[in-house]
Amino acid sequence: MKTYTHSEQKFKQSAAALAGGVSSSLRASMKPVPLFAERGQGARVTDVDGNTYIDYLLGYGPLILGHAHPGLVTAVNEAMQRGFTFGLQHQGEIDLAERLIEILPCAEKVAFSGSGTEAVMLALRLARAYTGRKKIVRFHGHYHGWSDTIFTAFPSADMKAETEGGAGDQEVLPGTGGQSEISLQEIILLPWNDPEALEKALREQADEIAAVITEPVMCNNGCLTPQPGYLERMRELTAELGIVLIFDEVITGFRLGLGGAHERFGIKPDLMTMGKAMAGGIALSAVAGSSQLMDLIEGGQVSHLGTLNGNGIAVSAALATLDILGENQGEAFVKMEQAAATLAEGIRERLRSHGLQGVVNQLGPVFHMMFIDREDVSSFAEFSERDSALYFEFAEQMLEEGVLIRPNGLWYVSTAHSEEEIRETLEAADRALQALASRRGVQEGSRR
């Protein structure tokens, strides 16, 4: 049995000084206790009790190169030596902007910020300023950060609020206490992957809608892929009706390929947001898109602000991350995708062999595992039927087996995960599922 005594002690100590005991509310849900990290190297992270885990949480996504990649560490150290932020311009910003324009099909111009939330804020402002309209279409189960005008009740297992998936005319509930009551009045919330609902809403309210914002793959809740033709239809309709199409690629960017989901699917949004993997774990995000929209910043119609925007450390980290990911024609993506596919298939087999019902949805180096009484999960309404409590139990059991996963079901794979680590993970999953199955058997037996 692993012990978590030091994490428990630190969590108590932390809660006395740090509001909620953690630095981002999601982290508080971890069982048996929010772990405290000591260090990370490659695909492994060690906690303050000396337990080492193969890491699929990966800092909630940014660590696409794993922990402390030497190339990234060197780049950041060099940036530190040169002086890390100037409030002046520097060559690195130009290099990174040019690089992004080269690799992202939709990027004609770029603007940097610090978090995904900020990038989304900027993209929405650009869309509203460009169209002179106010409403934003977003979808059930997608997450676009926690700013007032876009944060709706977020139905994920490791978030508090629960909401129903369904039609677009229901009340849009705020994601948190303290959110301005009028902040969501301009949001139209629709079911995703439903072209008819989209077309109806867009045609009915076209002259009020500034933007449609979507995760191109619904990574945050179920890793649901777009049905064939859905994103294409979204592109056609928005183009026809003069609505700005925003792909929120904070998760898919630099993960489903160097050019993100929009390159992979061959669809050009007007704007895209990116963050997480972009700088391998250093805070950096960006908006990219057509010059027509991005030039509203140059013209001064839209303010783009942020003290640390484009700082030397973040920019150097991104340049190094993109260099490493791009080596040998991007073979890292092939390797990560193979590793994720092996894991996903291995977990499906083990679910079956232990008589547990579940689904694993995988695309590229990211997948969602869920316990659910279905053969497949392709809509948010279906995803909402999953047994989140059982998954929490599984995540806790996986810690015991030396594997760190997010308690909501989303797994990330990095370039650092070796074949040996994938094999070890599947063995761990086998033992954890076995433990779950026998506990369930005992419970069912005792009910009879």
Chain residues that interact with ligand PLP, rule: CB under 6 A: 115-117, 120, 143-145, 215, 220, 248, 250-251, 275
Contact 403, 56 (CB under 8 A): yes
Question: Which is catalytic among the residues 53, 56, 130, 143?
Answer: 143
Please state the three-class secondary structure of 357-402 as a single string: CEEEEEECCEEEEEECCCCCCCCHHHHCCCCHHHHHHHHHHHHHCC
Give the number of other CB atoms < 10 A from CB of residue 255.
31
Which is closer to ligand PLP, CB of 147 or CB of 342?
Answer: 147
CA distance 253 to 110: 14
Q: How deeply is 228 buried, as exposed, middle or buried, from its count of CB atoms within 10 A (0-12, 13-18, 19+)?
A: exposed
Which is closer to ligand PLP, CB of 250 or CB of 287?
Answer: 250
Which is closer to ligand PLP, CB of 36 or CB of 60?
Answer: 60
State the minimum distance, in angstroms, from the CB of residue 114 to ligand PLP.
Answer: 8
CA distance 407 to 98: 38
CA distance 269 to 290: 9
Which is closer to ligand PLP, CB of 120 or CB of 297?
Answer: 120
Whether 194 is catalytic: no
State the minimum distance, in angstroms, from the CB of residue 220 to ligand PLP.
Answer: 5
Which is closer to ligand PLP, CB of 251 or CB of 314?
Answer: 251
Partner residues linked to 200 by β-bridges: none
State the minimum distance, in angstroms, from the CB of residue 117 to ligand PLP.
Answer: 3
CA distance 289 to 294: 6
State the minimum distance, in angstroms, from the CB of residue 315 to ligand PLP.
Answer: 17
Conformation bin of residue 13: beta by default, left when phi > 0, alpha when psi is -120 to 50: alpha
Question: Which is catalytic among the residues 55, 158, 276, 412?
Answer: 276
Whether 60 is catalytic: no
Question: Which is catalytic among the residues 4, 248, 270, 391?
Answer: 248
State the minimum distance, in angstroms, from the CB of residue 187 to ligand PLP.
Answer: 15
DSSP state of 224: B
Whether 200 is catalytic: no
- Catalytic center residues: 143, 248, 276
